[in-house]
Amino acid sequence: MSLELLKQEFEHVLQNEDPNALHAFLDQQNITEIADLVYEEPEQAAQIVAAMSVHRASGVFRILEFPVQRKIIEELSPSKTAELLNELPPDDRTSFLEDLPSNVVRELIKQLNPEERKVTLSLLGYPENSVGRLMTPDYVYIYEDNTVAEVLDIIRRVGKNTETIDVIYVINEKGELLDDLRIREFILADPDSRVSELMDDRVIALNAYQDQEEANEAFKMNNRVALPVVSNSNKLLGIVTIDDILWVASEEFSEDIQKIGGTAALEQPYLEIPLMSLFSKRVVWLMILFVGELITITAMHRFEDEIAKVVVLATFIPLIISSGGNSGSQAATLIIQAMALSELSIRDWWFIMRREILSGLLLGGTLGIMGVTVIFVWNSFSDVFGIYYWSIACTIGLSLIGVVLWGTLVGSMLPLILKRLGADPAASSTPFVATLVDVTGLIIYFSVAYLFLMGKLL
């Protein structure tokens, strides 16, 4: 059903003021369609969620954006709020609660039943951005001396209350993780065989205190839909599923984009973040870049005599430094993205440097030829460059090659250096690279000018 048709039918059912008809209509739609309807009818969001069966309402709520979730909770009745929060999977509930103010969290936790409250407090007790915040304690575990027939009985009995049954976890009497086995292995095995016969002891597990980015890498490298989470003593605590990792990857991508743009990562959606918080996230980088530009002014002051003698040199300053900044920003963006996708590492620095030197020479050479061409074409219509137009053309051409080459090297190497120092490579944002190249670009430009114009115009 199209969104427009769904919206029309919803409004028609709503006008009839029949709660049973509204409940039946909403429960007949796909969860993603209801989510689209919520975004289309934000004023009716709480009513839509309240009218659905709690299980389906939970499914819709967990895929909504945080600002919409918060608005719904604020408008729901206390009983409906308690019902919805208790129905949510522990990991999704924790993800929602951790973004709320602490006083609001305390009030909402009071509405959970004792078992769910215990689980939620346990998950919230792990450090922010740790794997422990993502895990769910709902999984199927068995023992190595169980038979396959017993395992299948366990899956039938408890599987409906777990987030996934694709993987079954083997533990010992101490609760320590021994192995994880896919359900297909039990379906295809002899019912009388024991779990120990199927085990290969090649289990891959996450630690509850690991960073969520590391979990993302583990999922990518091992092609899993779920991974077990253990304590420091190897006790099985829960599992992390691929849907949560996809959410983490999306969040990390957003943070990197913000850092590349020259701002600190925003912890809240743009429309929700207070103005002063937004100011503080942006002003630090702007102050750093401002200081960098002051150094550029100092460099220009150093060469003011040369600029006064050959005014035409000043005309090409924006062209020279922007070309270097653009090439550096290109290289930085490509390297940061490749590092984020694990396509390269610090060990590849020499290969990257050689590749970027060649790229810089090719790119700079292309722009250099364009610069020389501009000088010759310009000079054919006007005598602005005088009799030394050839020397000026060489100055512009070689300066472009040097500045673009330098910008490419800075842009490609700086993320690797930051990574080696333990910092976030995305912090080598494109404005920062551009500002750094501005200063050095001026030095390269006027050094080349000295070489070709000394004794002529200088």
pLDDT tens, the chain, 458 aa long: 677 888 888 888 888 878 888 888 888 888 888 988 888 888 888 998 988 888 899 989 988 888 889 899 989 888 888 899 898 888 888 888 887 887 888 888 888 888 888 888 888 888 888 888 888 888 889 999 999 999 999 999 888 778 788 889 999 988 899 999 988 989 998 999 999 989 887 888 999 999 888 888 788 778 788 899 998 889 998 888 888 888 777 777 666 666 666 555 566 666 667 777 767 766 776 676 677 667 666 766 676 666 666 677 778 888 888 888 888 888 888 888 788 777 788 888 899 999 999 999 999 999 999 988 988 888 777 776 667 778 888 888 999 999 999 999 988 898 888 888 877 776 656 677 777 788 788 888 888 888 887 766 65
- d(C-alpha 286, C-alpha 432), whole Å: 10
What is residue 289's predicted lDDT score, i.e. its pLDDT?
65
Residue with tokens 């010759």, as numbered in its chain: 376
- d(C-alpha 28, C-alpha 34), whole Å: 10
Sheet of 177-182, strands arranged across? 141-143, 167-171, 177-182
CATH classification of 3-125, choosing from 3.40.50.1000, 3.50.50.60, 1.25.60.10, 3.40.50.2300? Answer: 1.25.60.10
Closest CA to 183 of 225, 234, 222, 145: 225
What is residue 293's predicted lDDT score, i.e. its pLDDT?
67
Strands, E assignment, 99-159 = 141-143
Q: How far is CA 79 from CA 17, 102, 110, 272, in A?
A: 21, 21, 12, 27
- d(C-alpha 396, C-alpha 412), whole Å: 24
Task: At 38, list the tokens.
Answer: 């919520």
- d(C-alpha 312, C-alpha 392), whole Å: 9
Query: Per CATH, which fold does 141-241 belong to?
Result: CBS-domain (3.10.580)
Number of H helices, E strands in the chain: 22, 6
Write a three-state SS string for 315-365.
HCHHHHHHHHHHHHHHHHHHHHHHHHCCCCCHHHHHHHHHHHHHHHHHHHH
- d(C-alpha 144, C-alpha 140), whole Å: 13
At position 396, the amino acid (one-letter code) is I
What is residue 15's predicted lDDT score, i.e. its pLDDT?
81
Closest CA to 433 of 406, 398, 399, 401: 406
Domain boundaries, the chain: 3-125, 141-241, 275-453
CATH classification of 275-453, choosing from 3.10.20.90, 1.10.630.10, 1.20.1050.10, 1.10.357.20? Answer: 1.10.357.20
